[in-house]
Amino acid sequence: MMEVRNLTVRAGGRSVLQNVSARFRSGCMNAVIGPSGCGKTTLVRAAVGSGALQADGEFWLEGTKLTSRGDRVGRVGYVPQFCLAHPDLTVEESILYSLKLLDMGPEEISRRADQILAETGLSRLRTRFVGKLSGGQLRRVALALELVADPSLLFCDEVTAGLDPESEDGILDLIRTLVERQGKTVVNVIHNLHHLHRFDWIVVLDAGEKVFEGHFPAFQKWFELEDPVKLFRLLGDLSNPRDWAALWREKGEEPAKSVEAERPPSKRNTIPASDFSQAKTLLQRRFRLFLRDRGYLALTAAITIGFPLLVVIFALDGIPQLTRLSMDSGLGTLGRLQGEIAFAKEAADVGSLVSSLILFQVVLLTLTGSNNGAREIAPQAGLFFQESLRGLRPGPFCFEKLVFTGGIAVVQGIVMTVVVKSVVHFPGSWWIQGITLVLVSLALSWLALGFSAWLKSGEKASLLAVYVVGFQLPLSGIVLTLPEPLTDLLRSVITTYWGWASYLASFRNTGLYDAAVFVSGEKVPPYLLCLLVLLIHVFSAMILVASGVFRMHRTR
Ligand SMILES: Nc1ncnc2c1ncn2[C@@H]1O[C@H](COP(=O)(O)OP(=O)(O)OP(=O)(O)O)[C@@H](O)[C@H]1O
């Protein structure tokens, strides 16, 4: 039996559930019903251990108290209203990747996948992409994914909502089969009361309080209703207002206590795979999804190749060399003056071109970097929550995101270095310039990834990343002079400045360096210092990502 004791939940400054206690029967189909906004979803989310709620109360499963999300892993599953599986995976791939997050050998994985597909009626659809399935088929996939960890208790939040009557019937039949053949306990939030008679146990909520708990016949008797569909009208009947919660506390609670004999404590039937194995599976899945998403793949390829080409069109013949390095002393004072002016003009032109080209490639890399990370974590928060109930740990999830976005950032940094240096012929070390651009790309990719881990939506993270990139250029102080007291303070956090300075410092002691410094009027720090600061930016962004992912794990 799953038991909720004295649950009070506060959200948005008010009480959403007040002192609710309810028992859900083992090996049965349980229903949670009530008018819209009465707190059904909140009850389910609290029961599955969501950290997003300010919940006060106790949860007991087969005589064991559940105190954390970890206690629920592999024992409690959660099927949300909408299937969160990746649309670009096939049904079979979705199940296989989920199974690979558990500690199982390849033969067992394959056997379990076949079994789950058969049980959920998905065998014929195994090669179909999830994104191409109907509503009813998607609910089956959502249920199938929850069967992967073989939990004894499944919470389903309106899994039949929005389905046609036939599909709704099919899903309820499937749940009944899981209950009868596998002994699962299923708790269903439902809206359509036409099907209420099919449930073994019913809990009714109204305005955050429990107003009934029992069998269907007891339900009909308690509310004096032949037709359960009239329940919501009865609860909201202002012409005859009744305090159903007080009535239940007074007269109804006793009979509900005689439910069933306790079962032995439920145990986990599956064990999560090691961190390494989970990280490997997630990365394989991520790269497969990357290759399948043609639009994203084309965009990434286009900016990886296109942006360096954009830089080099400003210096297709390489950078012009400074020609008037010496003045002819035979020209006299006026001639020398004219020579100096001509040299200054040429140095200004060349220096400005060098400084701008370096700045341009750095800025473009900050832009591509922000594009890599901003939508990577926030949109997957729901799926991550579900998978964490099946045993996925935050460490491997964080590692997958860092490696995937980091991999793209490194490739983009290298392509920029190779294309620009080959065409423009910047002097100086390939290594220093390559490392500089890779670090710039990594820092912004992971910063945007960090935003995505901390913010609630990919759009918000993307917007913030765009602002951060947009402010990089003016706050670098390279193009516009910053007020003196702010210069060092602001620059310390501006990746663009350190990328520009490191690249420029890599060819110190050359005429081009002198010309660029002459134009910018900057004292350029040594490249080792610049690389060190860039490394600090990269590690800080990494910490932002890790702290965001672990926080998301605690608070979802
Ligand atoms: N994070 C939140 N902040 C503020 N209010 C919230 C939050 N979550 C839920 N609520 C409020 O709590 C109440 C219960 O919400 P809940 O989603 O549990 O209701 P429900 O019974 O599942 O409704 P429905 O049947 O419409 O899905 C609603 O009034 C809702 O606005």
Give 217-250 pLDDT, tens digit per residue. Answer: 999 999 888 888 888 888 887 777 778 888 888 8
**What one-letter code names the amino acid at 483?**
P
Length of the chain: 556
Q: Which atom of ligand 1 is nearest to the CA of 45?
A: 18
Per-residue confidence (pLDDT) for residue 262, from 0 to 100 = 55
**26-51 tens-digit pLDDT:** 999 999 999 998 999 999 999 988 87
Nearest CA to ligand 1 atom 25: 36
pLDDT for 509 beyond 90: no
Q: Which atom of ligand 1 is nearest to the CA of 189?
A: 22
Q: Which residue has the higher pLDDT, 90 or 322?
A: 90
Burial (CB < 10 A; 0-12, 13-18, 19+), residue 113, is buried
pLDDT tens-place string over residues 6-28? 999 988 788 899 999 999 999 99
**Ligand 1: which residue has its CA nearest to atom 24?**
36
Q: How far is the CA of 203 from the centre of ligand 1 (A)?
A: 17
pLDDT at 265: 59
Which of 8, 32, 33, 42 should be mutated for ligand 1, with most atoms under 8 A from CB? 42
The domains of the chain are located at 1-75+200-266, 275-323+353-555
Q: Ligand 1 center to residue 151 CA distance, Å?
A: 26
What separation in Å is there between the alpha carbon of 60 and the centre of ligand 1? 23
* Distance of CA 44 from the midpoint of ligand 1 (Å): 11
pLDDT of residue 427: 92
Q: What's 1-75+200-266's CATH class?
A: alpha beta
Task: pLDDT band for 258, please (50, 70, 90 cuts).
Answer: very low
pLDDT at 18: 92
Q: How far is the CA of 17 from the centre of ligand 1 (A)?
A: 10
Locate 86 and state its tokens. Answer: 């990746």
The pLDDT value given to residue 264: 61
Q: Between these two residues, 343 and 132, which has the higher pLDDT value?
A: 132
Q: Both tokens of residue 288?
A: 């497969």
Sheet with 201-206: list strands edge to edge. 76-79, 153-157, 185-189, 29-33, 201-206, 209-214
pLDDT band for position 328 (50/70/90)?
low
> How many alpha carbons fall within 13 Å on the CB side of residue 282?
29
CA angle, 384 as apex, 379 and 385 as ends, to 5°? 110
Task: Report the separation in Å between the CA atom of 210 and the middle of ligand 1, taken as the mean of its atom positions.
Answer: 15
Average model confidence (pLDDT) across the chain: 89
Atom of ligand 1 nearest to the CA of 38: 21
Distance 459 CA to ligand 1 centre (A): 23
Evaluate if residue 495 carries a pLDDT over 90. yes
For residue 157, which atom of ligand 1 is closest to its CA?
22
In this predicted structure, the answer to whether residue 420 has a pLDDT above a threshold of 80 is yes
Ligand 1, atom 11, lies closest to the CA of 16
| Higher-confidence position of 286 and 337 | 286
> Which range, of 130-139, 223-232, 532-541, averages the lowest pLDDT?
223-232
How much distance in Å is there from the Cα of 542 to the middle of ligand 1? 35
Q: Of all protein residues, whose CA lies closest to atom 1 belonging to ligand 1?
A: 11
> Which pLDDT value is given to residue 259?
47
Rounded CA separation 177/180 (Å): 5
Whether residue 327 has pLDDT greater than 50? no
Pocket test for ligand 1, best of 15, 40, 187, 192 (most atoms within 8 A of CB): 40
Q: Which of 9, 38, 158, 188 has most ligand 1 atoms within 8 Å of CB, for mutation?
A: 38
Q: Sorting pLDDT into bands at 50, 70 and 90, what band is 256?
A: very low
Pairing mode, if any, of strands 2-11 and 14-24? antiparallel
Give the Å distance between the CA of 12 and the centre of ligand 1. 10
Give the residue, by CA position, lying nearest to ligand 1 atom 6: 11
What is the band of 537 on the pLDDT scale with cuts at 50, 70, 90?
very high
CA of 380 to the centre of ligand 1 (A): 21
Dihedral of alpha carbons 477, 480, 481, 486, sign: negative
Give the residue, by CA position, lying nearest to ligand 1 atom 20.
37
User: For ligand 1, atom 7, which residue shows the shortest CA distance?
Assistant: 11
Predicted local confidence at residue 322, as pLDDT: 63
The closest of 223, 178, 217 to 200, measured between CA atoms, is 217
pLDDT value for 318: 76
41: CA distance to ligand 1 center in Å?
7
- List pocket residues of ligand 1, CB cut-off 6 Å: 11-12, 16, 34, 36-42
- Enumerate residues 6+ apart whose C-beta is below 8 A from 18: 8, 208, 209
Average pLDDT over residues 135-154: 91
Task: List all residues 6 or more positions away from 21 whose beta carbon is below 8 Å from its beta carbon.
Answer: 3, 4, 5, 6, 7, 210
Q: Is the confidence at residue 271, as pLDDT, over 60?
A: yes
Name the closest-CA residue to atom 16, ligand 1: 39
Residue 418 has pLDDT above 90, yes or no: yes
Is 90 exceeded by the pLDDT of residue 329? no
Average pLDDT over residues 85-109: 95
Q: Which of 136-145, 193-202, 229-238, 527-536 has the lowest mean pLDDT?
A: 229-238
Q: What is the residue with the minimal CA distance to atom 17 of ligand 1?
A: 41
Whether 554 shows a pLDDT value over 90: the answer reads: no
Tokens of 186: 């299923």
Q: 81 alpha carbon to ligand 1 midpoint, in Å?
A: 14
Q: What is the pLDDT of residues 432-486, one digit of tens each?
A: 999 999 999 999 999 999 999 999 898 999 999 999 999 888 888 887 877 877 8
Pocket test for ligand 1, best of 7, 16, 44, 211 (most atoms within 8 A of CB): 16
Between the two ends of the chain, the Cα-to-Cα distance in Å is 25
Closest residue CA from atom 10 of ligand 1: 11
Distances in Å between the alpha carbon of 508 and those of 172, 324, 351, 424, 476? 73, 20, 13, 17, 20
Atom of ligand 1 nearest to the CA of 34: 21
| Confidence (pLDDT) at 168 | 87
Ligand 1 atom with the smallest distance to the CA of 43 is 18
pLDDT (mean) for 353-382: 91
The confidence score (pLDDT) of residue 325 equals 47
Index of the ligand 1 atom closest to the CA of residue 158: 27
Residues of the chain with pLDDT > 70, as a percent, come to 94
Distances from the Cα of 390 to the Cα of 183, 272, 319, angstroms: 19, 8, 58
In the reported structure, the alpha carbon of residue 78 is separated from the centroid of ligand 1 by a whole-number distance in angstroms of 17
**Residue of 103, 101, 98 whose CA lies nearest to 117:** 98
Average pLDDT (147-175) is 88
- Residues 392-421: what's their mean pLDDT? 96
The pLDDT of residue 117: 94
ipTM, 2 dp = 0.95
Q: How far is the CA of 309 from the centre of ligand 1 (A)?
A: 52
